[in-house]
Amino acid sequence: MSEAVIDKEQGMIECEVVRGDVSLAPVAMPKLEDFVDLIQYPIHDLSSAKRQTLVDQCRKELDAVGCCHIPDIIRPESIERMRQEVERQRENIYWSENSHNPYMTKEDTSLAENHPARSFERRSSGFVNSDILEETSDLRAIYDCDVMVQFVSDCLGVGPIFRWADPLGRNPYSVMDEGDYFPWHFDGNEFTVSVLVQEPIKGGEFQYSPDLRTPEEENLEEVAKVLAGDLSKVHSLILKPGDMQIFKGRFSMHRVTRVEGNQSRYIALPTYMRDPDTVNRPEHARQFYGRALPIHFEREANRPDDLLD
Ligand SMILES: O=C(O)CCC(=O)C(=O)O
Ligand SMILES: [Fe+2]
């Protein structure tokens, strides 16, 4: 649970993270300045001209190419703490070696053979699911902080937004070892923040086709073109550890190219939605995060839009 306090005179937001029973022995939780470079990026100070310039720039990039990139916003010490968390969680990673289509739905042979939902690619990658993040995890603190939610909302020009209700997918680490590949897909959530934690020696490049579909239009023809190898409208983003990107994963189809070399790629993925209740479809949860929970079945009929998924 977290609380943001807005000081109206100063226009400042303080981020206070409160968790569990306060009478228990205190746990050292990272504070905003422990993970964000607030000197270069004063995202906590609503009255700051520097913040406004940053938000304007992000909005422009999101409108132009469906994604914005903020270099070096997360402090190196925080990146190192997240890297160590992933290493400690190695044995708890859910690894997948399934084939999936861009919508994470089961094969439907009643569809035409050239329908994108019948195009399956093999994924090999893993997740440290959100439900097993450590209590003092920097990723958890970043996600719990209302300053971050407000900042992402301002950059997107969409508000209010909420942390995703999906207990597995809301803020996982995605892990890719040598040879792993994450195929083209749309996300179950609308907006994702990515923070690269460890870069591979080669490959592991994030590629996306901006705003390929809308809540009203699947745009199957263009989706099929990308799946067939037409990269003419595809963008690549080279991230460095500590960089942050914001992108619209439900509408921009994306993938991560094969990781080459013996250094794994780790990335933190806090996610956001316009509604506070929907979660992944059970099949999507199963394919991405290894299992579907009762909440995925209970809320299956409750969708954010009418898209295939
Ligand atoms: O690893 C990434 O950069 C993106 C992973 C991804 O697309 C996802 O988890 O849905
Ligand atoms: Fe994704």
Nearest alpha carbon, ligand 1 atom 10: 187
CA of 186 to the centre of ligand 2 (A): 6
Distance from chain centroid for Cα 118: 25
In ligand 1, which atom is closest to the CA atom of 172?
9
Atom from ligand 1 closest to the CA of residue 169: 9
Q: What Cα–Cα distance (Å) separates residue 199 from each residue in 37, 84, 97, 178, 269?
A: 20, 14, 21, 12, 15
Q: What pLDDT does residue 176 have?
A: 98
Q: Which of 284, 44, 27, 259 is CA-nearest to residue 164? A: 284
- pLDDT of 204 higher than 80: yes
Average pLDDT estimate for 196-215: 96
Choose one of 195, 253, 269, 287 to mutate for the ligand 1 pocket test, by most ligand atoms within 8 angstroms of C-beta.
Answer: 269
Per-residue pLDDT tens over the stretch 45-55 = 999 999 999 99
Kindly report, residue by residue over 50-75, the tens digit of the pLDDT. 999 999 999 999 999 989 999 999 99
Q: Are 88 and 136 in contact (CB under 8 A)?
A: no
3-class secondary structure per residue, the chain? CEEEEEECCCCEEEEEECCCCCCCCCCCCCCHHHHECCCCCCCCECCCHHHHHHHHHHHHHHHHHCEEEECCCECHHHHHHHHHHHHHCHHHCEEECCEECCCCCCCCCCCCCCCHHHCCEECEEEEECHHHCCCCCHHHHHHHCHHHHHHHHHHHCCCCCEECCCCCCCCCEEEECCCCEEEEECCCCCEEEEEEEECCCEECCEEEECCCCECCECCHHHHHHHHCCCCCCCEEECCCCCCEEEECCCCCEEEECCEECCCCEEEECCEEECCCCCCCCHHHHHHHHCCCCHHHHHCCCCCCCCCCC
pLDDT at residue 54 in the model: 98
Find the ligand nearest to 245 CA: 1
Q: Does the C-beta of 193 come closer than 6 Å to ligand 1?
A: no
Does ligand 1 lie within 6 Å of residue 128's CB atom? no
Q: Is the CB of 174 within 6 Å of ligand 1? A: yes
pLDDT recorded at residue 243? 97
Is the C-beta atom of 67 inside 6 A of ligand 1? no
Structure tokens at 240: 């460095």
Which tens digits make up the pLDDT trace of 83-103? 999 999 999 999 988 899 999
Residue 212 has phi, psi (to 5 degrees) of: -70, -30
Could you tell me if the CB of 206 is within 6 A of ligand 1? yes
Residue 15 has pLDDT above 80, yes or no: no
Please give all residues whose CB falls under 5 A of ion ligand 2, grouped by chain where several chains appear.
187, 249
